[in-house]
Structure 1
Amino acid sequence: MLHAAVRLVLAPLARLVYRPVIEGRRNVPRNGAVILAANHLSFIDSVVIPLVAPRPVAFLAKAEYFRGRGVKGWLLKRLFTAIDAVPVERGTHRSAQASLEAALGVLERGGAFGIYPEGTRSRDGRLYRGRTGVAWLALTSGAPVVPVAVLGTDRIQPVGTRIPRIRRVTVRFGAPLHFPQPTGGTRAAQARREATDEIMDAIHALSGQPRATDYNDLPAAA
């Protein structure tokens, strides 16, 4: 109910203000489990994608967003609850596995789940090497993966700024990718790596970002 109300109000408002370019919405299955694997340029990517997708999309969100105080804390909690965000603790291997299991729960219920294979947002605009959690989800659940490219969100809220700016954004949804369970002598780790690389290649084809060969790690201050 809350999600529908927020989409009813925010989606038209966002389109009026930001005039987003949306391409390939028909590539997102309207029913059944699906993974939306996107590049990550800004904090607001997790808001933009659910607002322009043709169906609700759940993303993981830091548990702190649901525990904030004051008006800002209340607004963040309402916003992330409305867009079906899944609260998770971050920072340890155990929390990472718990995050994947929470995502798997969304898929097992037939939902759409959004994930950033890079792990964290790119601060220099490059597309970094994907982590294999996205492939684990795809191979475990059997859900198709729709590659997504989000462009321009880094200009709406650059790193270090608090007040969003009005800039036009583009969201491209690519054709679904399917990954059958590995057979024969293919090892699980190898299958996850190959699937992840294929997903990142598809995201790159949509975004046109320069590629980075290494992983995108959080800055030391984080």
Structure 2
Amino acid sequence: MPKESSPPAGTAGSMYTDIGADTPEGYAISRTSRELARKTIGDGGPFDRIRQRCSIAVGDFAMADLMRFTGDPVRAGLAALQEGAPIYTDIRMVQTGIQKKGHHSQVTCILDTYSSSDTGGKTRTSAALMALGERLSGSIVVIGNAPSALLVLCELIQHGIRPALVIGTPVGFVNAAESKELLRTLDIPSISNEGTRGGTPVAVAAMNEIITMYAESNEAPQ
């Protein structure tokens, strides 16, 4: 089973950046929330930054202890953004929530890539992932809602498909915990969480924090 990797120190130090906040009030709220999260969770590097943001997204600092990182996911995500790799999401809510500023990757909901009415008895997200197939290699895949889609993605990875990064935080009582556990056994960079909790806010928060790190380190246009 792949082990958690330890990335370099944080990219922002004592500075704070939120490229998603576009008003003074929004920035003040975001900054105050982040200060509280830093004090509670710690600020030891990129993993802590993601833990902070995911906890803020769900309004519960307990989320920090549930986050799991496998295969140097921050480095992999930054490299993929540098290459302009496509970002695929399981549902439109995740697509909408991902920041479009600070990077040049196209953010696409996989439901918009699958027009057939024949899903072979699978969910539409699962059928769409299977249809994308090799196009997922080198991409960032963000799954915040559909455990069935994450299970299919894991199967594709086992058969040779190689996404650059998988963020998998589906929520629910049916296959959510199991799909994330399976993801963590694979030799692929991933961010996930333990248990049945998770959802769109967690997936979006993790992706957006990596985008923020990328924008900081590359001084990307905002």
What TM bracket, shorter-length normalisation?
0.3 to 0.5
Flag the structure with higher helix content. 2
Flag the structure with higher strand content. 1
Q: TM-score, normalised by structure 2?
A: 0.32
**Structure showing greater relative contact order (alpha-carbon pairs closer than 8 Å, 6 or more residues apart):** 1
